[in-house]
């Protein structure tokens, strides 16, 4: 069994123990040594009374010291690590839930020991926050739960690589699994002067969009354009192409989006009714597809069809159970200090009782002495 | 003649006019002031006895012969010199009150100092009257000055007394037992002690008395011992055993004085029972009047 302290600096307060000791030393009845020819006529009753008082003083001192010690150690927050308690650490779970999509319905966290939710625009930032929060939790099993629809591109294996081995990973998709590979896309079109809604059942592979009924649902390039300087025009076009190739979901309406570099003077750009969306210059260029995707994702209104999702099998392959609690985890208050507070209160009561007994004995002795004199 | 500072000259001078007379018969080697068990031909008539051939005719009481028609020879009590042995208790219990412990309450001398002073005074008196005086003290080793007379012996006696120091736990009874073996002839034994080992000491005193010695027991006590005159709680340390007791004198004083008084009375009664002289001397009280009363009392008894 070991013991750790939540606020070990408070233990410096144990120096206060010196206070009652010093007071006892200062106010104790001073006795001197007196060589005497013979002790045969000195009465034992006087001796017994003296010793009784000395013992009483010692008990009183011990009580006062113990009260201070118990109070200080209670304030320091002791945490006892017993074998059973250490085993119990593995049975409780600290869970950090990350909302991958803003529309994600967060999973219930009723059975977990500690839980928190993190929602950041960038998934990497959310994971970083979650890991920092988990590191600050008391000893327990730890897991990161990703919640959302898990559209393709919303999370990748490289994002999960930063999660330590002893932190479990779980995915809580908020859409049926079947929709990941097959969904219905609706579109409005004019036929013979009428506005007609056409539903397409679309099947999706992991790496390409497959037309279910012969109608290709893809982003028409003329609906999204990137405004860039001539020097960056090639990069912008490549980024847009890569994003579309990855299957960015798109509405079948006539909506147009104009992507501009962040920091560009948007007032000077003739949008011609298109929505302007800012996008950071991709750096490195390999991240251009993701940046473009995110930029399109931020465009409004979101009248998208069901997105292309990451397959459930892929999510399951990334998932793993929580590991053993970290031995370096910061201990939590397990309530051990309440016993010390109880002990301090009990000792305080005992000290009060002893002090009163002593005062009563003293007054009785004085009264008898006065009676003798009288 | 300069003397070691065991006794002040004023104390000696005040008692010079007194003699330490022995009430018992002592056996001396020379003529002296004291009665001898041997019948000789000195001035003091003792008794008649029937004439035996060879008796000196000048001691025949012719008047008695005329009256009774029997021949008697006059006998005279031979007077002899006194051989006194001063037996001093040098146990640690005599080293009280100690100057360091009692400086605030008592500036007088300790029991031991008083005992050696008494021994010096009595020894000087004995030597001054032509008798022999010696000293015996049994501490870790025996200090013994055999009884001798003469003023030259006074310096030896006082020097030995000044060398004595309270040490050890050797009780007065062992010194008295030793004295019984050293005193070949009947003489005067003066035991100076606090007599805390009362039973053993009294046994030895009676033994000396039965051996024919004139025994004087001088009990030396301190004023503080009589009534536990100690202020405030103190850790009392037995001077001989080192045993410690924490005592509040104010609460123990009453019973202490009662018990101590009863013990003192018992010691005095037991000593006096066999006709042994007893003198109690208290530190802080004038010594000269007490000794004077005692010596006058002995002279009256001896005459």
CA angle A44, A50, A53 (to 5 degrees): 140
Is A302 a residue whose pLDDT tops 70?
no
Over residues A230-250, mean pLDDT: 70
CB of B251 within 8 Å of a chain A CB? The answer is: yes
CB contact under 8 A, B235 and A49: no
More confident residue, B115 or A227: B115
Kindly state the average pLDDT of the residues A59-79. 90
DSSP secondary structure letter of residue A25: H
Q: How confident is the model at residue A39 (pLDDT cuts 50, 70, 90)?
A: confident
Q: A36, B237: Cβ pair inside 8 Å?
A: yes
| Contact assessment for residue B94 and residue B166, using Cβ atoms and an 8 Å cutoff | yes
pLDDT for A371 beyond 50: no
> Would you say residue A227 has pLDDT above 70?
yes
Q: Which residues in chain A touch residue B251, judged by CB atoms under 8 angstroms apart?
A: 46, 49, 365, 369
Does any CB of chain A come closer than 8 Å to the CB of residue B94? yes
Give the residue from chain A lying closest to B251, CA to CA: A46
Q: What confidence score (pLDDT) does residue B4 get? A: 46
Question: How far is Cα A153 from Cα A242, in angstroms, rounded to an integer?
Answer: 12
Phi, psi (degrees; rounded to nearest 5) at A67: -60, -45
User: What 3-state DSSP class applies to A320?
Assistant: strand
Best residue in A33, A34, A366, A368 for a mutation probing chain B (most B CBs within 10 Å): A34
> Is residue B219 within 8 angstroms of chain A, CB to CB?
no
| SS3 assignment, position B186 | coil
A102 pLDDT above the threshold of 80: no
A365 vs B contacts (CB less than 8 Å): 251
Percentages helix, strand, coil for chain A (3-state, rounded to 5) are 45, 20, 35
- CB < 8 Å to A29, chain B: 233
**Strand A209-210 to B44-50 pairing:** unpaired
pLDDT digits 0-9 by tens, A48-58 = 565 666 666 78
Residue A211 to residue A198: CA distance in whole angstroms: 14
Contacts of B236 in chain A (CB under 8 A): 34, 36, 39, 42
A172 pairs with which residues across the strands?
Answer: A147
Check if B233 contacts A (Cβ < 8 Å).
yes
CA atoms within 13 A on the CB side of A7: 10
CATH number 3.40.1010.10 given to B9-22+82-297: no
Task: Pick the residue of A31, A36, A39, A361 with the most B CBs within 10 A to test the interface with B by mutation.
Answer: A36
Question: Does residue A242 or residue A362 have the better pLDDT?
Answer: A242
With cut-offs at 50, 70 and 90, classify the pLDDT of residue A38. confident
User: Shortest CB distance from A47 goes to which of B96, B196, B245?
Assistant: B245
**Are B92 and B259 in contact, with CB atoms under 8 Å apart?**
no
Torsion sign across C-alpha atoms B80, B81, B82, B83: negative
Q: Which two tokens stand for residue A148?
A: 């959302």
- What confidence score (pLDDT) does residue B2 get? 44
- Residue contact A54–B246, C-beta within 8 A: yes
Interchain contact, A41 vs B254, CB within 8 Å: no
Backbone dihedral angles phi then psi of residue B239, each to the nearest 5 degrees? -65, -25
Amino acid B16: pLDDT: 60
- B243, B236 Cβ separation under 8 angstroms: no
- Secondary structure element (H or E) that encloses residue A4, with its range: strand A2-5
pLDDT of residue A92: 84
Query: Which candidate in A30, A33, A35 is best for mutational testing of the B interface (most B CBs within 10 A)?
Result: A35
The CA distance from B235 to A149, in Å, is 88
Grade residue A65 by pLDDT with cuts at 50, 70 and 90.
very high
Strand, helix or coil for residue A221: helix
Q: How far apart are CA A339 and CA A337, in angstroms?
A: 5
- In this prediction, residue A7 carries a pLDDT of 87
Q: What distance in Å separates the CA atoms of residue B248 and residue A46, rounded to the nearest whole number?
A: 6
CATH 3.40.50.410 domain residues, chain B: 9-22+82-297
ipTM: 0.76
Q: For residue A224, what pLDDT is reported? A: 72
Residue A109, pLDDT score: 64
Closest by Cβ to B101, choosing from A31, A35, A372: A35
Closest residue in A to B263 (Cα) is A41
Chain B nearest C-alpha distance from A351 (Å): 25
Return the structure tokens found at A126: 């959310």
* B244-247 β-sheet, strand order: A32-36, B234-238, B244-247
Q: Any chain A CB within 8 A of the CB of B266? A: no
| Cα dist from A212 to A199, A201, B45, whole Å | 11, 6, 170
For residues B140 and A135, which has the higher predicted lDDT (pLDDT)?
Answer: A135
CB–CB of B98 and A35 under 8 A?
yes
> Which two structure tokens, joined as six digits, stand for A30?
């001073």
- Which of A119, A133, A129, A175 is CA-nearest to residue A152? A175
Q: Cα dist. A131→A98, A158, A166, B297 in Å?
A: 11, 15, 11, 111
Q: Give me chain A's average pLDDT, please.
A: 74
Q: Do A33 and B237 touch (CB under 8 A)?
A: yes
Q: What is the DSSP code (8-state) at residue A151?
A: B
What's the mean pLDDT in A205-226? 48
Which is more confidently placed, A313 or A274?
A313
Residues 6+ apart with CB under 8 A from A276: A258, A260, A266, A269
A47/B247 touch (CB, cutoff 8 Å), yes or no: yes
- Angle of helix B249-272 relative to helix A337-373, nearest 10 degrees, comes to 50
Q: Would you say B108 and B284 are in contact if contact means Cβ atoms under 8 Å apart? A: yes
- Cα angle for residues A95, A99, A100 (degrees, 5° grid): 125
Which residues of B fall within a CB distance of 8 Å from A372? 254
Interface of A with B (CB under 8 A): 29-43, 45-47, 49-51, 54, 365, 369, 372
- Of residues A19 and A235, more confidently modeled: A19
Give chain B positions within 8 Å (CB) of A37: 93-94, 96, 111, 194, 196, 222, 225, 238-240
Six token digits for residue B150: 């003469």
Kindly state the tokens that stand for A39. 């002790």
From residue B91, give the alpha-carbon distance in Å to each of B2, B95, B198, B220, B244: 29, 8, 14, 13, 18
> Would an 8 Å CB–CB cutoff place B33 in contact with chain A?
no
Give the model's pLDDT for residue B79: 60
Most A CBs within 10 A among B236, B244, B260, hence the mutation to make, goes to B236
Cα dihedral A127, A128, A131, A133 sign? negative
Q: Provide Rg for chain B, Cα atoms.
A: 23
pLDDT band per the 50, 70, 90 thresholds, residue A225? confident
pLDDT band for A374, please (50, 70, 90 cuts). very low
| Gyration radius of chain A over CA positions | 38
Residue pLDDT, tens place only, A146-185: 888 787 777 888 888 899 988 999 988 875 544 445 555 5
Helix axes B198-210 and B249-272, enclosed angle (nearest 10): 10
Structure pTM?
0.47
Q: What is the pLDDT along chain B (303 residues), one digit of tens a residue?
A: 444 455 666 666 665 655 555 455 445 444 455 565 555 555 567 788 888 888 888 889 999 899 999 999 888 765 666 789 999 999 888 988 876 554 444 446 889 989 998 998 888 888 888 888 999 998 777 889 999 988 889 889 888 888 888 887 767 888 999 999 988 888 899 999 999 888 899 999 999 999 989 999 999 999 888 888 877 777 888 888 888 887 878 778 888 889 999 999 999 999 998 889 999 999 888 888 888 888 888 877 765
Distance CA A78, CA A328 (A): 16
Q: Does B222 touch chain A (CB under 8 A)?
A: yes
């Amino acid at each position: 069994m070991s013991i750790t302290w939540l606020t070990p600096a408070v233990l410096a307060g144990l120096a206060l123990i010196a206070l009652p000791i010093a007071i006892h030393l200062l106010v104790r009845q001073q006795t001197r040594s007196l060589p005497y020819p013979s002790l045969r006529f000195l009465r034992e009753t006087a001796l017994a009374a003296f010793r009784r008082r000395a013992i009483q003083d010692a008990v009183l001192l011990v009580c006062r010291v113990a009260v201070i010690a118990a109070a200080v150690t209670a304030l320091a927050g002791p945490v006892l690590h017993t074998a059973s308690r250490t085993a119990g650490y593995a049975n409780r779970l600290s869970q950090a839930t990350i909302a991958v999509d803003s529309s994600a319905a967060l999973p219930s966290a009723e059975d977990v020991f500690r839980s928190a939710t993190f929602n950041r625009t960038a998934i990497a930032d959310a994971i970083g926050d979650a890991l920092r929060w988990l590191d600050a939790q008391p000893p327990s099993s730890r897991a990161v739960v990703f919640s959302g629809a898990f559209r393709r591109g919303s999370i990748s294996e490289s994002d999960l690589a930063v999660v330590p081995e002893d932190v479990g990973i779980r995915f809580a998709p908020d859409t049926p699994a079947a929709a990941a590979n097959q969904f219905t896309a609706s579109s409005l079109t004019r036929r013979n002067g009428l506005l007609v809604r056409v539903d397409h059942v679309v099947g999706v592979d992991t790496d390409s969009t497959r037309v279910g009924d012969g109608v290709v649902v893809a982003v028409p390039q003329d609906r999204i354009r990137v405004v860039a300087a001539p020097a960056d025009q090639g990069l912008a076009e490549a980024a847009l192409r890569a994003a579309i190739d990855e299957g960015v979901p798109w509405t079948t309406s006539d909506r147009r989006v104009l992507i501009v570099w962040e920091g560009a003077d948007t007032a000077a750009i003739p949008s011609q009714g298109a929505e302007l969306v800012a996008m950071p210059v991709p750096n490195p260029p390999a991240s251009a597809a993701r940046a473009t995707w995110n930029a399109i994702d931020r465009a409004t209104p979101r009248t998208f069809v069901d997105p292309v999702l990451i397959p459930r099998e892929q999510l399951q392959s990334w998932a793993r159970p929580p590991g053993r609690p970290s031995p370096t985890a910061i201990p939590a208050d397990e309530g051990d200090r309440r016993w010390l507070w109880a002990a301090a209160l009990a000792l305080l009561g005992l000290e009060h009782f002893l002090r009163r007994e002593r005062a009563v004995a003293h007054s009785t002795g004085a009264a008898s002495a006065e009676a003798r004199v009288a | 003649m300069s003397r070691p500072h065991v006794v002040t000259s004023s104390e000696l001078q005040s008692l010079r006019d007194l003699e330490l007379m022995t009430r018992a018969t002592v056996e001396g080697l020379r003529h002296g002031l004291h009665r001898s068990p041997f019948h000789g031909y000195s001035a003091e008539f003792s008794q008649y006895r029937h004439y035996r051939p060879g008796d000196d005719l000048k001691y025949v009481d012719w008047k008695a012969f005329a009256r009774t028609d029997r021949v008697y020879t006059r006998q005279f009590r031979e007077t002899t010199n006194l051989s006194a042995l001063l037996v001093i208790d040098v146990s640690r219990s005599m080293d009280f009150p100690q100057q360091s412990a009692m400086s605030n309450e008592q500036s007088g001398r300790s029991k031991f100092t008083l005992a050696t002073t008494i021994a010096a005074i009595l020894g000087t008196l004995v030597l001054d009257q032509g008798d022999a005086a010696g000293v015996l003290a049994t501490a870790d080793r025996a200090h013994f000055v055999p009884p001798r007379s003469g003023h030259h012996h006074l310096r030896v006696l006082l020097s030995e007394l000044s060398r004595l120091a309270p040490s050890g736990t050797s009780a007065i009874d062992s010194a008295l037992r030793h004295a019984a073996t050293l005193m070949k002839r009947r003489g005067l034994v003066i035991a100076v002690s606090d007599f805390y080992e009362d039973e053993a000491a009294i046994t030895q005193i009676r033994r000396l008395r039965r051996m024919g010695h004139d025994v004087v027991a001088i009990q030396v006590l301190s004023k503080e011992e009589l009534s536990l005159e100690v202020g405030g709680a103190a850790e009392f340390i037995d001077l001989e055993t080192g045993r410690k007791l924490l005592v509040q004198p104010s609460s123990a004083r009453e019973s202490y004085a009662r018990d101590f008084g009863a013990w003192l009375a018992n010691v005095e009664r037991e000593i006096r029972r066999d006709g042994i002289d007893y003198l109690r001397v208290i530190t802080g009280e004038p010594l000269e009047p007490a000794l004077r009363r005692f010596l006058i009392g002995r002279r009256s008894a001896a005459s």
